[in-house]
Amino acid sequence: MSNEEDKLEIKCMDEFFDIEKSIGFVKAIIGLQFNFENETIEEKDLEYEKFDEQEEEAVVQKDEDGNPITPPEGQKTAFKPRDYQWTISNKQPRNLPQIFMGSKGKTLAIHEVKSAEQYSSSQYEAISKSLDEICNKVVNEPNPFYYQIIFTE
């Protein structure tokens, strides 16, 4: 995928949530791949929304004298997006490990990375043995997990 628009074609998040909605809870994923994919987003790579002061003033309702109107007792105040920290995610697609770990909870889900050579020098045998391991782990591991098996090119 050489240009930025091509990267936006893959919608791992939509596909992942459609699978969970249609089929059921995803407990484990194995990634058989040539490159490592980070399961977290680095803080330095995050951009946050910035809100204008003028937008806030426009939302506040005022009476005829220009004084802010307080909501009646028991009524909730209006939702103010600026009260929360929002990340800008446009044109910043997340990879499958980030989506999986984020949806399952980083404290609950397990992320493991192994080299294919730990299983075998043959790629086909490494795939077979890693799949055997993940199937065994699905049965015995109570927490969801994401395995990345990295092959050398």
* Per-residue pLDDT tens digits of the chain, which is 153 residues long: 566 666 556 577 778 888 888 888 888 888 888 988 888 777 777 777 787 765 555 456 677 777 777 767 777 777 777 788 777 766 667 778 888 888 888 778 888 899 999 999 999 999 999 999 989 988 888 888 888 888 887
The whole-number pLDDT of residue 89 equals: 67
Query: What pLDDT sits at residue 3?
Result: 66
Q: Does pTM top 0.85 for this prediction?
A: no
Cα 91 versus chain centre, distance: 14
Q: What is the pLDDT of residue 142?
A: 86
**Confidence at residue 125, expressed as pLDDT on a 0 to 100 scale:** 93
Contact, 12 vs 95, CB < 8 A?
yes
132 HSE (CA, 13 A, CB side): 7
Q: How high is the pLDDT of residue 29? A: 85
